[in-house]
Amino acid sequence: MPALAKMNQCFIEEEEPETHVSLPHLEERMSGYIASEYKAFFFMEDDKVVGYALCSNSKTPVYLRQFFIERGERRKGYGKQAFQLLLTHLNISPDNIDVYAWNDSGIRFWRSLGYSKSRLNMSYSV
């Protein structure tokens, strides 16, 4: 859980820069996900973890909640390779994904895999 929580903290900081969540809280949250219908998949290069995915395959289609490649490991092809391995392991085809509108690097990554904007989801804030 500590490695998963640490990567999740980086994921959150990139997606929501003003949000800080403590590692103990993230360990607890991730433990809760794993205890429910979610599974975590670590992406490895030799003996080093370069990223992870958190998804629920209890739903149809499979719900990809988080997909993250460590900052220092990006632009090396790990993301594309990891995503293809995940699809193969789960025996699924690509489906819709959610990306925050302000996550430019995430949008570029998913576009490089063939995804395109298909809808706009808006939130109300006071």
**Could you give all domains of the chain from N- to C-terminal order, each with its CATH number?**
2-112 (3.40.630.30)
Rounded Cα gap, residues 8 and 31, in angstroms: 12
Amino acid, single-letter form, for residue 34: I
Q: pTM value?
A: 0.87
Per-residue pLDDT of the chain (126 residues), as tens digits, is 889 999 999 988 887 767 778 899 999 999 999 999 999 999 999 999 999 999 997 878 889 999 999 999 999 999 999 999 999 999 988 888 888 888 888 899 999 999 988 887 888 877
How is residue 34 written in tokens? 């794993």
Rounded Cα gap, residues 47 and 45, in angstroms: 6
How is residue 95 written in tokens? 């489906």
